[in-house]
Structure 1
Amino acid sequence: MTAPLETPDGRYIVVRGRLWRRSDPSLSDDRRAELVHDLMEARRAKKTALGDDDPAAVEQAHARVDAAKTALGERGPVWWSDDAPDETRRMAENTRYADWFASVGKP
């Protein structure tokens, strides 16, 4: 599997032309691993709850996913300090990364 394209400033990866915020690089490797583990457990719990048709468990698992992604820095307040806006979920060609994205070729 090929690693996703990463913006030059390291803030986003590009998946099918869309920007997704990367984890906060200031997190220690141990803390990042712990949070990723929590995220994967929460995603598995959500899948199980969906299969069991248990709306309460789905909601609880969804909240755990959100908490892990927020702690990773992928959601919530941005982890950079230069006041640049968060462009998560936007198409790269419609952002300040448009020229860079055009120059690297659309994967």
Structure 2
Amino acid sequence: MPAPADDGPPPVTPDGRYLVVRGRLWRRANPALAQERREELVAELMSARRAKGAAVRAGDAAAREEARARVDRAKHALGERGPVWWDDGAPDLNRHLVSTTPYAGWFAQLGG
């Protein structure tokens, strides 16, 4: 199911846990992170992604794997992977189709 038809930012679930891209939920960063720390982690994530792309273009498998590990560490530190950052016992629906989750009705109201 596609996202609502506009060029704005992806919709964010009412509880702030996920954003929806091409009909799929993606976990957002932990909002409890200090802004400065979040910015550092995002900068590291982008640097690691650039390094991965360069390694792929160069055909350097070892560098690609190191860059992938850097991406994974940054995503864990941001809270986008690993244990969930909320504490109410709600399951992690990361990468689920929004139409198969409790967010389906909300998303349908957006035109998704």
Assess same fold via TM > 0.5: yes
Q: Which sits farther off after the overlay, 1-10 or 39-48?
A: 1-10
Report what 2:19 is aligned to: 13
TM-score, structure 2 normalization:
0.92
Q: Distance in 2 between matches of 1:105 and 1:70?
A: 32
Report what 1:69 is aligned to: 75
Matched, 1:24 2:30: yes
Percent identical: 60
| Count of paired positions | 106
1:3 to 3, 6, 9: 9
Q: Distance in 2 between matches of 1:15 and 1:50?
A: 25
Matched, 1:59 2:69: no
**Local SS of the residue matching 2:59:** coil
Runs of 4+ in 1 over 4 A off after TM superposition: none
1:46-92 deviation per Cα after TM superposition (whole angstroms, max 9, x unaligned)? 00000110111100000000000000000000000001000000110
* Structure 1 position 6, deviation (Å): 0.5
* Structure 1 position 103, deviation (Å): 1.4
* Structure 1 position 102, deviation (Å): 1.2
1:18-39 deviation per Cα after TM superposition (whole angstroms, max 9, x unaligned)? 0000000000100000000000
TM-score, structure 1 normalization:
0.97
* Structure 1 position 104, deviation (Å): 1.5
C-alpha RMSD of the superposition: 0.7
Matched, 1:41 2:41: no
**Structure 1: tracts of 5 or more residues without a match:** none
**Structure 2: tracts of 5 or more residues without a match:** 1-6
Q: Distance in 2 between matches of 1:73 and 1:85?
A: 14
